[in-house]
């Protein structure tokens, strides 16, 4: 415990130094961006940080700003969560039944290889523009979660399974203490990638389908009226919302991947 505390004290100044370094690098590029904006001096071609912040402040003051943000956030979040659940459950079933996995393989390959714009066009015909974002996020995320979860399940140590069989371990204990530690690193990695993809595909779907209300519709309007500062401002909003969602979801996943010895011992390992 003392060694751990010493290591933490040693690493603290280094971490603080890295944070300061990162902040200075970001400030440097923001300064370069602002200087380029002032040199070009054309609001259509480029808008610097100062103009973007001013535009963002104007957007926040609009009565429907939070409704627009909430609608886009909800569509993308619902699409991602449904796809995550479906991909995870499909991986469990396909790991157990190889025949089902063989039948699903062509569909998964198709989902991974078909261009995103093809899905957008087909979904616009099938489900309309209001549900487009949910369905597109679902289709883009599904193969990522399914493939990585299945790979994690296949990564289970056969020797551990033999031990579980010898000691007649209950199915839920096998899942929690053998399968879960094997597939969770894969799920964590896949989720980080899938979260970014869901927001990129979701906003693209909104820009093309222009559902109302949505951030994509506002970005399309900004493009149509050559309001570059507004376009950048809404892009900043997308980045902030995606980071919030990613942090919250990854925090939950990391909690679920933590050791759960208390299920067997009857007390929380953190209290020891």
DSSP annotation string for 180-210 = HHHHHHHHHHHHHHHHHHHHHHHHHHHHHH-
- Residue owning tokens 């990613």: 246
What CATH number corresponds to the domain at position 197?
1.10.3720.10
Same domain, yes or no: 27 and 106: no
pLDDT of 3 strictly over 80:
no
Q: Does the predicted TM-score (pTM) go above 0.75?
A: yes
Q: Are 192 and 242 in contact (CB under 8 A)?
A: no
Any domain includes 26: yes
Any domain includes 5: no
Residues 55 and 229: their CA atoms lie apart, in Å, by 6
Same domain, yes or no: 67 and 133: yes
Q: What is the pLDDT of residue 257?
A: 82
Residues 16 and 264: their CA atoms lie apart, in Å, by 39
Neighbours of 25 (CB within 10 A): 10
Question: Domain range holding 22?
Answer: 12-41
Residue 145 belongs to what H/E stretch? helix 132-154
Residue 14: pLDDT band with limits 50, 70, 90: confident
High-pLDDT (> 70) share of the chain, %: 91
Cα 235 to Cα 81, 122, 242, distances in angstroms: 23, 26, 11
Residue 260 half-sphere exposure toward CB, CA atoms < 13 A: 16
Q: What's the chain's Rg over C-alpha atoms?
A: 23
Q: What is the pLDDT of residue 270?
A: 47
- What are the φ and ψ backbone dihedral angles of 225, each rounded to 5 degrees? -95, 10
Any domain includes 57: yes
Any domain includes 265: no
Q: Residue 218: name the closest of 237, 203, 234 by CA.
A: 234
Same domain, yes or no: 148 and 36: no
Same domain, yes or no: 86 and 220: yes
pLDDT tens digits along 183-235: 999 999 999 999 999 999 999 999 999 999 999 999 999 988 889 999 999 99
Q: What is the pLDDT of residue 136?
A: 94
- What are the φ and ψ backbone dihedral angles of 210, each rounded to 5 degrees? 45, 55
The total number of structural domains that make up the chain: 2
Q: Are 215 and 69 in contact (CB under 8 A)?
A: yes
Q: Are 191 and 178 in contact (CB under 8 A)?
A: no
**Strands of the chain, DSSP E:** none
Mean per-residue pLDDT over the chain, rounded: 88
Same domain, yes or no: 28 and 132: no
Q: What is the pLDDT of residue 155?
A: 87
Q: Are 254 and 188 in contact (CB under 8 A)?
A: yes
pLDDT tens digits along 81-120: 999 999 999 999 999 999 999 999 999 999 989 988 899 9
Which residues, at least 6 apart from 79, have a Cβ–Cβ distance to it below 8 Å? 133, 134, 135, 136, 137, 138, 141, 198, 202
Residues 160 and 15: their CA atoms lie apart, in Å, by 38
Same domain, yes or no: 187 and 224: yes
């Amino acid at each position: 415990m003392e060694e751990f505390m010493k290591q933490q004290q040693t690493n603290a100044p280094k971490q603080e130094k890295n944070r300061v370094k990162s902040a200075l690098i970001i400030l440097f590029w923001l300064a370069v961006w602002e200087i380029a904006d002032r040199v070009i001096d054309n609001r259509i071609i480029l808008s610097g940080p100062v103009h973007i912040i001013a535009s963002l402040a104007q957007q926040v003051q609009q009565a429907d700003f939070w409704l627009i943000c909430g609608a886009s956030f909800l569509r993308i979040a619902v699409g991602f969560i449904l796809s995550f659940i479906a991909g995870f459950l499909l991986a469990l079933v396909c790991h157990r039944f190889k025949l089902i996995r063989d039948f699903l393989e062509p569909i998964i390959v198709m989902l991974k290889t078909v261009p995103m714009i093809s899905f957008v066009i087909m979904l616009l015909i099938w489900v309309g523009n209001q549900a487009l974002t949910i369905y597109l996020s679902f289709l883009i995320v599904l193969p990522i979660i399914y493939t990585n979860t299945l790979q994690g399940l296949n990564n289970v140590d056969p020797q551990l399974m033999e031990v579980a069989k010898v000691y007649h371990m209950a199915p839920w204990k096998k899942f929690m203490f053998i399968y879960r530690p094997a597939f969770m690193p894969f799920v964590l990695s896949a989720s980080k990638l899938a979260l970014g993809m869901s927001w990129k595909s979701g906003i693209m779907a909104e820009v093309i389908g222009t559902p109302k209300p949505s951030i994509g519709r506002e970005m399309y309007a900004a493009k149509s009226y050559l309001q570059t500062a507004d376009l950048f401002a809404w892009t900043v909003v997308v980045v902030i919302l995606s980071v919030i969602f990613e942090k919250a979801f990854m925090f939950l996943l990391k909690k679920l991947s933590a050791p759960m010895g208390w299920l067997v011992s009857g007390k929380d390992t953190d209290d020891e």
